[in-house]
Structure 1
């Protein structure tokens, strides 16, 4: 009957037809422009054959039903005006409405995933049969938008406004059992019975055994407008509204939209949804979050390409059982890759194993792991005081103290204990890979592998390519990081690599503000309001004042013109006074633990007194100036990293900052932040603070982009 590049339509038994979704040259079905155009053709064909068709079955030939709209098309689509976006949404509303209005029943057989537009397509059909292992949901909020193809309307009427808001505001895919319990689907069956069960349901509907009119009314009928209904909606507003984050406009817009259209007819309700979608799509947050999604896809694609060229890591080793080494051992073992954890002290090994056990106990307590699973992970960690178990190791992570001489000596020693095919890596946060490689006979088999603390929580791994690191070495290291569930980004060798190189200009700006007499607690409040998970003073305490000072010295030595200080930095003085941050309870803040184990903090009087004695002045500084004086040097160092080729793409720079230091997600990353402000506006800000030094100086490439009207994305 029909055959296209995204779907085909064929006759089944008498009166029944089957629409198969199968997007060519794609591993998944997406509702891209091609698919929607073909769906319109199919519906026109169905409308012209209503006298001979009695039922429509919709199935997928892919492992998943439809994963949603094609997000790669969003950047161009969202560049349209709001009125043009509303027209686009209305066209899809009309398309799904035509499917819903066919004079015969339709049934979707949902396998794998039906997300976003894919679930909205299923909602437009009359009945839904779901495989027991499949999931459905509306995750648009994670992209800064709302469901736009009828989802806010049909789902809220099908399962109730409260349940629908729970789905839409979380964006999480829902399990089959929950979808059935709430009435979002009509049947849940074993995966191998899916098509047969859906076809049988279609036969029943076509034969009049199920009420087509009544079923359609369930997802179209508005809530009756009454004092009781208005009170229920007001309760929902209070319940959900109090939990929303003002940095993300989509949740508040979804809540307002559902509450506004709950009592309105279907057509009016869809018009409100279209209005909300088009407004959100034009927001800076939506652009940022769509950019984050696309950046994440790019990073994963590059990691897969590297991994495809790699020899797998069957057994690994880590040198050092401290916080980082123990974390690496836990992560490797949890991923099913056995690891030897070596240290020179037995008590360190015991502590490393104890820490792993505690992390596993948390998973057991949360029901994510049973006792047998915990033991399997622990069995994958082999503690060692010598190198006897290194003969079959494929990759070694060196995680000893951050001292170049000690690291070089340890690496040279282990090189003679592993097979010639093994890869050596260093979990250094700042030390040059080329410097460490000087102690090795085979520098081509060596690279950096920088994990972030705590290892089990932080997703990023910087894979640092030295000038002599081979392609095979990088590939195997990327593959190992990916196998551990991490997100690897390949970066070039320089002081601080990517993340720390970009982060420490931010702290340089922080130091300058302190010396201008700006209170650190106020700076923290301002930067947390800007979107950072913690302000710079609190972050320094969490990382450790000693660690911060060491890294700062490395960056100063590597980039003396930009990253040097006028006089002694405040953090150096804090360290000299014995303050280490949370490590010893004294830093910018003082830390205490109550009887229940809950940590609390308050500004440390000693820190305030020390800073006051070194402040050159007490300047009048606005909140906007605080933000600018911290963000300008960070963003410009990100610009320099791109220009220097430390990372290949703007997307990788921004993803590195999002995953490595918690850059505010709704702002998209440093380069996205520049684009959002506009290069002209950012340049004016930088020029206004030029007296602060070289970190605030615009680069020639930035100037060229500005003059050409080009951003970074």
Structure 2
């Protein structure tokens, strides 16, 4: 047999072994779209009827095996009615069942990444041979759904219920050693030997040394458990998964329900159970949000790549200002292979920065991610210096000194004189105008903002800020450096606070107004955490630093006095005056003491309660609905303003900036998606209920026009 299509090809040899090679044309990866499924269906039907075929090998011509379904096409499935979506799923199942029911043995040669549908096609095969460098997994729960092409049916029968629940509900990629240990694959070999090893395994089966028919029979039949065994397995799994997933992410718990029902059914009925549950999840608002974020993330990465495609490589970097932030930036650069000079005027600051980087490398060793030698090599890529001599030949500098415009301007002007004419100079400012900082520079075209988020090694976002005179070449090189650091850069235009902090401070303003009206800050924190934020506003202010927030609040009030200025003293002012700077000082809204691991542990502070009582009086109850509305409305409106004023180029970048930068609840999809889901007309009506609170609660003219026309920010 021979077949050549746009997504795959098939050729058979004289021994009757057919090789199906997945190879999507004009793409760097294989993914399952409508055309791939159609060609696969035709080929499997033809193979089943070809009496000359004795066995089938499925492999890939790409570096990855199959990365999963084509999400852009898959989104159109979600918009179908329930019956039509179920029919689409059944058609995909028919293809995979066709592979599982072929009248000869099948082996998947997994040469690289096999995720989602890409792993489910492997599960439909009788045997799996995996490269030691490959990874496999079923990440669908991270999109608010669960495996829909047989994953919940075949994986539990293959590796056991508890392992399958952990794989599916966690949605993580599994390395070859773990896949082999759990029984998900039959052999792990060197990457270059995958096809030969899979072919050899197939020959062993054809020689009668392995019984593929009995294996098939056991994987089709219902599983057998006593009532006590079943109860112990699923009660334990539900407890662990429920605690991790939380109420806002229902897919993992729904996957458990499907698995629990399906394992006691014959495979055809178990598939019907999977389809029914999948349809339910696909129609949920959480799935719309999470799939939307996936598409937004792809859009953001494409936008960044358009900037950086022609940029020259950054071979050597420098960071000005050591300490925690400077050490974090230095670690990130060194850990990704770019040598970096860390400059400060104080030896103790350099010691702190090197200690921070050393701790981060040490944690990688503890987790088994690095050997001690590799960690030492990484640390060796950081050069701590007190003078500018080592900085003269670097390609890019990140200034990370104190958030004070005069100090930053002085440092930037000083370092500019030490650099090559083509070197890029950036500032890690969180709020100060890039155009203002550039006003004293001789080469403002070589200057831009590069705003990292703390902790640097964990936070994925970097804001790249374009000043009035910043050149496109500067933006391109800075974006390329951010990508080299493993970060997601978003290019924004200059204004006080840029995108993320400009949007965050109206949220803090809503919090301050709630306190003024008698809200208990601890109650507000609990409400917003239940709503999905990683931490409430009081706790977040403590983590950011009350001193940092105080200075940023002044910048924002000066930049947007009509809505971010405030009369009289607020809670941030009060705590700043009291030198309660948050975690860094051991006290803010909460008290902090180190736990056994040396991490700050949050404790209740009666002194904070009393201080706020002197400012605002005794607390009173405010409903959860009002707290959420008063916190979220200013943030959402300011996000819309940033889009309208072209501070950020697209709705996708705006929403991803908030998710990646401040932990906006992913299940809500970002501020603009949140308004899309609510409906702009409904959002404007809600905002109007709070118009007495001032300009922060006034939707823009464009928002009202969009509401009247029933328009959305996102196409999905």
Q: TM-score range by the shorter chain?
A: over 0.9
Any residues of structure 2 matched to 1:46-85 within 5 Å, and which?
Answer: 46-49=47-50, 51-85=51-85
CA contact (8 A) 1:233 1:259 kept: no
CA deviation after TM superposition for structure 1 residue 579, in Å: 1.7
- Give the Cα–Cα distance (whole angstroms) in 1 for the partners of residues 164 and 224 of structure 2: 17
Residue number in structure 2 paired with 1:573: 574
Residue number in structure 1 paired with 2:622: 621
Bigger mean CA offset, 150-159 vs 387-396: 387-396
CA deviation after TM superposition for structure 1 residue 596, in Å: 6.6
Instruction: Specify whether residues 601 and 226 from structure 1 end up closer, same or farther in structure 2 by C-alpha distance, changes over 3 A only.
Output: closer
TM-score, L = length of structure 2: 0.96
Bigger mean CA offset, 22-31 vs 602-611: 602-611
RMSD: 1.8
Bigger mean CA offset, 379-388 vs 591-600: 591-600
CA deviation after TM superposition for structure 1 residue 367, in Å: 2.5
Instruction: Specify whether residues 245 and 317 from structure 1 end up closer, same or farther in structure 2 by C-alpha distance, changes over 3 A only.
Output: same
Question: For 2:432, what is the secondary structure of its paired residue?
Answer: coil
Residue number in structure 2 paired with 1:116: 116
- Give the Cα–Cα distance (whole angstroms) in 2 for the partners of residues 571 and 450 of structure 1: 23
CA contact (8 A) 1:55 1:206 kept: yes
- Give the Cα–Cα distance (whole angstroms) in 2 for the partners of residues 79 and 117 of structure 1: 20
Residue number in structure 2 paired with 1:702: 703
Bigger mean CA offset, 339-348 vs 251-260: 339-348
CA contact (8 A) 1:516 1:617 kept: no
CA deviation after TM superposition for structure 1 residue 473, in Å: 0.4
Residue number in structure 2 paired with 1:359: 360
- Give the Cα–Cα distance (whole angstroms) in 2 for the partners of residues 129 and 330 of structure 1: 37
Aligned length: 712
- Give the Cα–Cα distance (whole angstroms) in 1 for the partners of residues 682 and 628 of structure 2: 14
CA deviation after TM superposition for structure 1 residue 234, in Å: 4.2
CA deviation after TM superposition for structure 1 residue 322, in Å: 2.5
Instruction: Specify whether residues 163 and 402 from structure 1 end up closer, same or farther in structure 2 by C-alpha distance, changes over 3 A only.
Output: same
- Give the Cα–Cα distance (whole angstroms) in 1 for the partners of residues 255 and 699 of structure 2: 40
- Give the Cα–Cα distance (whole angstroms) in 1 for the partners of residues 185 and 371 of structure 2: 32
CA deviation after TM superposition for structure 1 residue 615, in Å: 2.4
- Cα deviation, 1:443-494, whole Å, max 9, x if unaligned, reads 1000001111122222211110011100110011111111112211111100
Query: Does 1:294 find its partner at 2:295?
Result: yes
Instruction: Specify whether residues 18 and 363 from structure 1 end up closer, same or farther in structure 2 by C-alpha distance, changes over 3 A only.
Output: closer
Residue number in structure 1 paired with 2:459: 458
- Cα deviation, 1:271-311, whole Å, max 9, x if unaligned, reads 11001111111111111111111122222222222222211
Bigger mean CA offset, 187-196 vs 652-661: 187-196
Query: Does 1:522 find its partner at 2:504?
Result: no
Instruction: Specify whether residues 300 and 347 from structure 1 end up closer, same or farther in structure 2 by C-alpha distance, changes over 3 A only.
Output: same
CA deviation after TM superposition for structure 1 residue 390, in Å: 2.2
Any residues of structure 2 matched to 1:584-595 within 5 Å, and which?
Answer: 584-593=585-594
- Cα deviation, 1:131-157, whole Å, max 9, x if unaligned, reads 222222111111111100011001111
CA contact (8 A) 1:253 1:276 kept: yes
CA deviation after TM superposition for structure 1 residue 315, in Å: 1.2
CA deviation after TM superposition for structure 1 residue 79, in Å: 1.3
- Give the Cα–Cα distance (whole angstroms) in 1 for the partners of residues 710 and 235 of structure 2: 49
- Give the Cα–Cα distance (whole angstroms) in 2 for the partners of residues 491 and 557 of structure 1: 20
CA deviation after TM superposition for structure 1 residue 228, in Å: 4.7
- Give the Cα–Cα distance (whole angstroms) in 2 for the partners of residues 287 and 39 of structure 1: 28
- Give the Cα–Cα distance (whole angstroms) in 1 for the partners of residues 567 and 393 of structure 2: 51
Any residues of structure 2 matched to 1:247-262 within 5 Å, and which?
Answer: 247-262=248-263
Any residues of structure 2 matched to 1:481-496 within 5 Å, and which?
Answer: 481-496=482-497
Question: For 1:154, what is the secondary structure of its paired residue?
Answer: helix
- Cα deviation, 1:37-96, whole Å, max 9, x if unaligned, reads 1111112222332x2222222111111111111112232211112222211111111121
CA deviation after TM superposition for structure 1 residue 223, in Å: 1.1
Residue number in structure 1 paired with 2:338: 337
- Give the Cα–Cα distance (whole angstroms) in 1 for the partners of residues 238 and 647 of structure 2: 48
- Structure 1: state its 5+ residue gaps: none
- Give the Cα–Cα distance (whole angstroms) in 1 for the partners of residues 542 and 289 of structure 2: 29
CA deviation after TM superposition for structure 1 residue 680, in Å: 2.1
- Give the Cα–Cα distance (whole angstroms) in 1 for the partners of residues 384 and 225 of structure 2: 68
Residue number in structure 2 paired with 1:308: 309
- Give the Cα–Cα distance (whole angstroms) in 1 for the partners of residues 229 and 383 of structure 2: 62
CA deviation after TM superposition for structure 1 residue 158, in Å: 1.1
CA deviation after TM superposition for structure 1 residue 227, in Å: 3.2
Query: Does 1:651 find its partner at 2:652?
Result: yes
- Give the Cα–Cα distance (whole angstroms) in 2 for the partners of residues 641 and 429 of structure 1: 16
Residue number in structure 2 paired with 1:434: 435
Instruction: Specify whether residues 670 and 345 from structure 1 end up closer, same or farther in structure 2 by C-alpha distance, changes over 3 A only.
Output: same
CA deviation after TM superposition for structure 1 residue 365, in Å: 2.4
- Give the Cα–Cα distance (whole angstroms) in 2 for the partners of residues 335 and 241 of structure 1: 33
Instruction: Specify whether residues 597 and 348 from structure 1 end up closer, same or farther in structure 2 by C-alpha distance, changes over 3 A only.
Output: closer
- Give the Cα–Cα distance (whole angstroms) in 2 for the partners of residues 391 and 597 of structure 1: 38
Instruction: Specify whether residues 376 and 230 from structure 1 end up closer, same or farther in structure 2 by C-alpha distance, changes over 3 A only.
Output: closer
- Structure 2: state its 5+ residue gaps: none
CA contact (8 A) 1:448 1:464 kept: yes
- Cα deviation, 1:156-177, whole Å, max 9, x if unaligned, reads 1111111111111111122223
